[in-house]
Amino acid sequence: MSTAGYIVTVVAVWVLSGIVAVAVFIARRGHRAWYWYPLGAVLGLLFIPIAMERGSRPTGRLETTPVPAAGTGPSAPGAGPRVLVGLDGSADSEHALRTAHRVLAGRVGELILTTVVDVAAVERGERTAEETDQLDRARELLTDRAARLRHAAGPPLPSSIEIVTGRPARALLDVAQARDVDMIVVGRRGRGLSNRLLGSVADQVVRDATRPVLLAASEDG
């Protein structure tokens, strides 16, 4: 191999190792910001321990908000079982919410709408504009879906909102444990290429859950 070829090979391995570290240890564990990829490409092999440390950080609960039922004050959980629904804006997660409402309305005490945001959003006292925007979008997603539930036909369905940070599957399971839910409902396939290449959040939830899990897939999923 020529000197030029050797240098190209070393650079390619260096860059690729950093990008793979981002995909395996960062993207799958809650960090979705684009800047991790160029940082990984520049640091290469040196980024692997950084990525492993970032990926091992625990779940953090950002917001827990009860949602009022239509025409009432704050919604109080009923006497029936609690059900957690994981939402990320994907078609399958939207179908999971519709399935939960169609099958469980009138039968559950509380529906807990949960989404997971980037880990970095709560690691500092002051958030960046990008992190604040991500949190605002997460809040908007859940409040919009909760409003749809309030105005949907059928019996009232008490619900609450949970915005958490961490590894997506682990974060959902931690909320399920903390809220002592009786069932978890998630979409079969979420957003992002890393889910398709490296295994979905749903697969991890099903594998590690200690309570029943209902998987929902959209018509094109």
Which residues form the domain of 153? 60-216
17, 66: one domain = no
User: Could you tell me the pLDDT band of residue 22, with boundaries at 50, 70 and 90?
Assistant: confident
> What is the helix (H) or strand (E) element at residue 112, kind and residue range?
strand 110-117
Question: Do residues 169 and 201 touch, judged by C-beta distance below 8 A?
Answer: yes
Same domain, 76 and 175: yes
Q: What is the tally of structural domains in the chain?
A: 2
Residue 92 in domain: yes
The answer to whether residues 43 and 129 belong to one domain is no
Structure confidence at residue 131 as a pLDDT band (50, 70, 90): confident
Q: Is residue 187 part of a domain?
A: yes
pLDDT 10s digits, 68-85: 444 444 445 556 789 999
Same domain (yes/no): 176, 80 = yes
pLDDT reported for residue 191? 55
Query: Token pair for residue 37?
Result: 């990829």
- Distance of alpha carbon 210 from alpha carbon 221, whole angstroms: 26
What confidence tens digit (pLDDT) does each residue in 139-190 have?
899 999 888 888 776 666 778 899 988 778 888 999 999 999 999 999 886 5
Residues 66 and 49 both lie in one domain: no
Average pLDDT over residues 114-135: 70
Residues 7, 100: one domain?
A: no
In terms of domains, do 87 and 132 share one?
A: yes
| 122 & 48 share domain | no
Same domain, 91 and 155: yes
pTM: 0.68
The pLDDT of 190-206, averaged and rounded, is 62
> Tell me, what's the pLDDT at 63?
63
Inside any domain, residue 47: yes
CA atoms of 165 and 178, how far apart (whole Å):
14
Whether residue 221 is contained in a domain is answered as no
Res. 100: pLDDT tops 90? no
Check which CATH number belongs to the domain holding 160 and give it. Answer: 3.40.50.620
Judge if 34 and 47 occupy the same domain.
yes
Q: How far is CA 122 from CA 40, 63, 158, 183, in A?
A: 21, 11, 28, 28
Residues 30 and 89 in one domain: no
Tell whether 9 and 42 lie within a shared domain.
yes
Q: Which residues contact 39 (CB under 8 A, 6 or more apart)?
A: 18, 22, 47
Q: What is the per-residue pLDDT for 74? A: 41
